[in-house]
Structures are given as C-alpha cells and as structure tokens.
Copies of this chain bind each other. A is one copy, B any other.
Amino acid sequence: MIEPLLRKLNAHDIVQPAEAEALAAVLRERRTHPARRVVVQRGKEIPFSTLLLDGLMCRYKDMSNGERQISALHVPGDFVDLHSFSLKQLDHSVATMTKCEVAIVQHEALKRITEELPHLTRMLWFLTNLDAALHREWTVSLGRRDAAARLAHLFCELHARLQVVGLADADGYELRLTQVDLAECLGLTPVHINRTLRQLRENGLVEYRNRRVHILDRKGLETVAEFQPDYLYLNRRER
C-alpha cells in the first residue's frame, strides 16, 4: 500500500483517482531493508527511485575524517531519492536508520508519467521542491540556531511531518534515532546533544526517552526553535 504517499500528496494537492492508480501501478515492487544498511551509494547509477513506506531513512555524506553529515531524514510517504530520476546518480548516500519497508518505481515508468500525466508530474516535481525547502530550513538551523534551537526545531519539524502521515499524536511520536544520529543531523557532537537534551527536558519543553519524543510544551518548544511551518507547505491547492 502506497497509502502514506497518498496521504502526503493529499495534504498538498488533490490527487485524482486516475493519478493514485497510476502511482500504485508503477510502485508495485516492494522491498524490505534491515536497519543501518546503505540503500543507495553516492555516485552509483540506479534505474529506480525508492518510496519509504515504513521506518526511518536518511540521506548523508561522509567526510574524510570519518564524520558524517545527514542532510535529510525520511519518514513514511517520502521518496528518498526521487531526484535520482533526473540526476541519474546521487551526490549523497541513502541509508536506513531502522528496518524499512519500501516500494520502488523504475525511472522508465517515471519518464512515461512525465510524457502522459502532466499534473502528476507536477506533483512529483513538487515533492522534490519540498525536499529542497527542508534542506533550506536545515541550512538555517545549522547556520544560525544554537544547539537547543536546532534540536527543538528538528522535533517540531518531525512532529508536523509525522502528523501528515498519521504517525504522531498531539503530545509526541516514536523516533528511533540515537543521540549520535541527532548529532549527525544537527552538526553537533553526541556529547553536546546529550547535554542539550537534558537542558530542554529541565526547561519542561521536550523529553526524549524510550525512543519516543514527548512534547511537554509545544508553544515553548516552537518559540525556542523559532519554528515557522510555512516551509512545509501544508496547504491543499493545485500544484
């Protein structure tokens, strides 16, 4: 079931039945990846794109000193590498954080969509533009927010994104990331993530334990984060 993708698309635009069918038809092949596995290697050509259905994945680049920077986190409903359709190879790798269920679509099939279904094409294009908007917000976080604001912002962002696909409730959501993972997303060290998590907890904003984010004070958290959700484009209109 490509349900999470349809939920996501329907949060941003109106998906016609024929379009939903076309997507289901080209996304028939399913795969399961174990946790902590590289799924797409930087630079390698792949003839298909991957839609995440269940689990958590990320895009990342390795640095020469062994560090890595995660440039995106993916939740169900996200295409992790739809852009490989036009880029042909990727400038980053893609890996699973948890065990994942995915569906794949051949680039050949996407090409046919661009030739026959202009509105569906625009929706797919939109999804990659949404990715870019998230990249920009991460750039802002890394450039101008301190550690507490970065963490707070990431928690707010994931809350909003998981709500779209029905994987969060008002006071929190499951998040199977380690403190090392968070550090690699936020350009910090694991040690500092740990101290900053404690600070957020002591300030009564969020608690992160048992692989679950507990939002204690959403308003306060959003204030610390300077969270402005416009970059998530959560309005339903023709794209």
Contacts and interface: CB of A to CB of B under 8 A. Distances in A.
Interface of A: 42-43, 59, 61, 63-64, 67-69, 71-72, 83, 86-89, 91-92, 111, 114-115, 118, 121-122, 125-126, 128-133, 135-140, 142-144, 186-187, 226, 230-231, 233, 237, 239
Contacts of A136: 59, 61, 71-72, 91-92, 135
A129 to B, nearest CB: 4
- Interface of A, secondary structure class, is helix
Contacts of A132: 83, 128, 131-132, 135
Contact of A125 (B115, B128, B140, B237): B128
Contacts of A237: 88
Number of copies of this chain in the oligomer? 2
A121 B115 CA distance: 9
A157 B180 CA distance: 29
Contacts of A43: 230
10 contacts: A69-B140, A83-B129, A86-B125, A87-B126, A91-B136, A91-B137, A128-B128, A135-B136, A139-B139, A139-B142
Contact of A230 (B91, B133, B142): B91
Contacts of A186: 143
Given A61-B140, A86-B239, A87-B239, 8 more contacts: A63-B144, A69-B139, A69-B144, A71-B139, A89-B230, A114-B122, A118-B121, A142-B143
Contact of A87 (B133, B138, B139, B142): B133
A115 B114 contact: no
Contacts of A226: 63-64
A42 B133 CA distance: 12
